[in-house]
Amino acid sequence: MVHYALELFEKGDRKKRIQPRAFERVYAVFDRDDHPTFHDALTLANLRDAKLRNDLHQPVIFKAVASVPSFELWLLLHFEDVQSSLHRDEVMERLRTYIPKYKKGRGDIFALTREKLSIATSRAEKLASKFGPFDEPQPYTAVASLVKLLTTLNWLPGQ
């Protein structure tokens, strides 16, 4: 994911109408799962932060937004205060007690969890104060910081 984000930043994508080096910030969002290159991806993202330059020759924020064991931990934190390690299958099983038909990529998840956003953010920040992405198998997610940023942006139609 980090390599893909770097390539997309450097080369752009004509089909997606993404211009090369047209960003001020780049976020690579990924799970721990069982990826053997997880730690390498975290390190690579840290090494690229503020080292890349955009088309205006400004330094670019480049962040890894990792979750251990999986992205679904972030969603589960909307409903439970998880403070100990869980396997990703257990996270999914527990999440489905709150969102019975949950599956990755489901388009209405933000709408279903929005009311509990402040609770999840507080729980994620508490976890992040105790653990980091390298502290596996302890639970960790950086999604809260990205969601906080996204919910403060002013989106205008046509942009």
As given in the structure block, the two tokens for residue 3 are 């390599």
CA distance 46 to 68: 17
Under the banding of pLDDT at 50, 70 and 90, the label for residue 157 is: low
> Counting runs of H as helices and runs of E as strands, what totals does the chain give?
7, 3
- pLDDT tens for residues 15-25? 999 999 999 99
By CB neighbour count within 10 A (0-12 exposed, 13-18 middle, 19+ buried), where does 21 fall? middle
Spans of all domains in the chain: 2-67, 70-138
- pLDDT tens for residues 90-124? 999 999 999 999 998 889 999 999 999 999 999 99
Strands laid side by side in the 140-141 sheet: 25-31, 61-68, 140-141
CA distance 7 to 30: 16
Under the banding of pLDDT at 50, 70 and 90, the label for residue 35 is: confident
- pLDDT tens for residues 43-93? 999 999 999 999 999 999 999 999 999 999 999 999 999 999 999 999 999
Q: For strand 61-68 and strand 140-141, is the pairing parallel, antiparallel, or unpaired?
A: antiparallel
CA distance 89 to 78: 17
pTM for the model stands at 0.88
Amino acid at site 41 = A
